[in-house]
Amino acid sequence: MNMMATARDGRSQNSHPSAMVKELLDIADYIASLRDAIAILRANELTRDRLPMVHEELSEVVAATAGATNSIMSTAEAVLALRDGPGYRDAVEAKIYDIFEACTFQDITGQRIAKVAEAMSQLEGRLARFSAAVKARDAAGIDEIEIDRRKRNESLLLNGPQMGGPATAQDAIDALFA
Amino acid sequence: MALDLSMPILVVDDYQTMVRIIRNLLKQLGFEDVDDASDGTAALARLKGRKYGLVISDWNMEPMTGYELLRHVRADEGLRTTPFIMVTAESKTENVIAAKKAGVNNYIVKPFNAATLKSKIEAVCGA
């Protein structure tokens, strides 16, 4: 857009044909480089394949962790409900193996999350190259829905879990209530 | 004063797994009368219909958060004295202070165990 404005200004200030041709060629070069940058982004592949894959994989992770947690908890509850008696140890051992089996979800979800991380890394790389190629600048404003979401989160102090464990330890919290 | 193990307790969390964990911990402590709700709105409806001896609530839920539920409870003449424990991953000091100002009786950071839960219930319910 700036180059278009420059071209329009140039037309009024400098009517020399060769200067106009040069500016038009510059604009053509810029458009060509922009098209290359867009092509490198491979937006169609991202929206058709990569991002749906990310959604599917994360949904599978959520389902697998929920399924495994339910399975482990059901088994633990079943162990708690076992009655003392001659078969108690065998019954507990059988339930423990059920828990081991349920824990295999971690291997599968780990692989799924690795696929998502790789896709995100590719997306990050492409966006970074695209941003550099077009010298992109972020718009000043944010859309209304995002503003409302941020306001609500700020007013309700919705931070979510902190990275690396709780921001404030239980002991420190207890001191506030002592 | 011993804990009243027969008192009804309302557990509020949008994750059924967490509700199940808290239910089991409460059962381990001897509490059998436990109801649950999946967010603040559902919890308020339950609180209007039954007198609970304790509310144990998560913070981060939609459409009504645990923090909003706490403020509603403390603003309600009939509910304002109900003991309220926040059990949450929202562990920044500002959150704890905000909850305390809003009238929370105690605050537990996830993950936690039965001993922690017991000590907080004892502190809140006057054992």
Asked if pLDDT for residue A3 goes beyond 80, the answer is: no
Range name among A158-162, B9-13, B43-47, B89-93 with the lowest pLDDT average: A158-162
| pLDDT band, residue A33 (cuts 50/70/90) | confident
Q: Would you say residue B81 lies in a domain?
A: yes
Q: Would you say residue B89 lies in a domain?
A: yes
Task: Chain A: give the shortest CA distance to residue B17, in Å.
Answer: 7
Q: Which residue does chain B place closest to A74, by CA atoms? A: B20
The reply to whether A161 touches chain B by the CB within 8 Å rule is: yes
Q: Which CATH number fits the domain that encloses residue B87?
A: 3.40.50.2300
Instruction: Please state the pTM of the whole predicted model.
Output: 0.76
Residues of the domain holding B12: 7-111
Q: Give the one of A66, A159, A172 whose C-beta lies nearest to B90's C-beta.
A: A159
Q: Which residues pair with B108 in a beta bridge?
A: B87
Q: Would you say residue B62 lies in a domain?
A: yes
Inter-chain residue contact B93 with A160, CB threshold 8 Å: no
pLDDT, residue A55, reads 94
Q: Is B86 within 8 Å of B59 (Cβ atoms)?
A: yes
Nearest Cα neighbor of B87 from B10, B33, B30, B31 is B10
Task: Chain B: give the shortest CA distance to residue A156, in Å.
Answer: 7
The reply to whether B52 touches chain A by the CB within 8 Å rule is: no
The pLDDT of A41-67, averaged and rounded, is 91
Q: Is B73 within 8 Å of B47 (Cβ atoms)?
A: yes
Q: Give the one of B20, B65, B109 whose C-beta lies nearest to A166's C-beta.
A: B109
What Rg do the C-alpha atoms of chain A give, in angstroms?
A: 29
Q: Would you say residue B1 lies in a domain?
A: no
Task: Chain A: give the shortest CA distance to residue B99, in Å.
Answer: 10
DSSP B86: E
Asked if pLDDT for residue A6 goes beyond 60, the answer is: no
- ipTM comes to 0.85
Asked if pLDDT for residue A61 goes beyond 70, the answer is: yes
The pLDDT of A129-155, averaged and rounded, is 83
Q: Which residues pair with B11 in a beta bridge?
A: B36, B56
DSSP string computed for chain A: -HHHHHHHHHHHH---HHHHHHHHHHHHHHHHHHHHHHHHHTHHHIIIIIHHHHHHHHHHHHHHHHHHHHHHHHHHHHHHHPPPSTTHHHHHHHHHHHHHHHTTHHHHHHHHHHHHHHHHHHHHHHHHHHHHHTT----S---HHHHHHHHHHHHTT---SPTTS-SS-HHHHHHHH-
Q: Would you say residue B116 lies in a domain?
A: no
Q: Chain A neighbours among B 74-113 (CB < 8 Å)?
A: 89-98, 100, 106-110, 112
- pLDDT digits 0-9 by tens, B26-63: 998 999 999 999 999 999 999 999 999 999 999 999 89
The strand pair at B9-12 and B34-37 is best described as: parallel
The reply to whether A160 touches chain B by the CB within 8 Å rule is: yes
Q: Give the one of A158, A160, A170 whose C-beta lies nearest to B116's C-beta.
A: A170
Inter-chain residue contact B91 with A162, CB threshold 8 Å: yes
Q: Give the one of A157, A170, A172 whose C-beta lies nearest to B95's C-beta.
A: A157
Inter-chain residue contact A156 with B97, CB threshold 8 Å: no
Q: Compute the distance between CA of residue A35 and CA of residue A137 in angstroms, rounded to an integer.
A: 18
Task: Chain A: give the shortest CA distance to residue B5, in Å.
Answer: 20
CB pairs under 8 A between A and B: 66
Q: Give the one of A70, A73, A173 whose C-beta lies nearest to B109's C-beta.
A: A173
Buried residues in A101-130 as b, exposed as e (16+ CB within 10 A): ebeebeeebeebeeebeebeeebeebeeeb
pLDDT, residue B127, reads 60
Q: Would you say residue B103 lies in a domain?
A: yes
DSSP B4: -
- What residues contact A25, with CB distance under 8 A and at least 6 apart? none
Q: Would you say residue B126 lies in a domain?
A: no
Q: Compute the distance between CA of residue B117 and CA of residue B85 in angstroms, rounded to an integer.
A: 9
Q: Cite the beta strand spans of B1-127 per DSSP E.
A: 9-12, 34-37, 54-57, 84-88, 106-109
Total domains in chain B come to: 1
Q: Would you say residue B104 lies in a domain?
A: yes
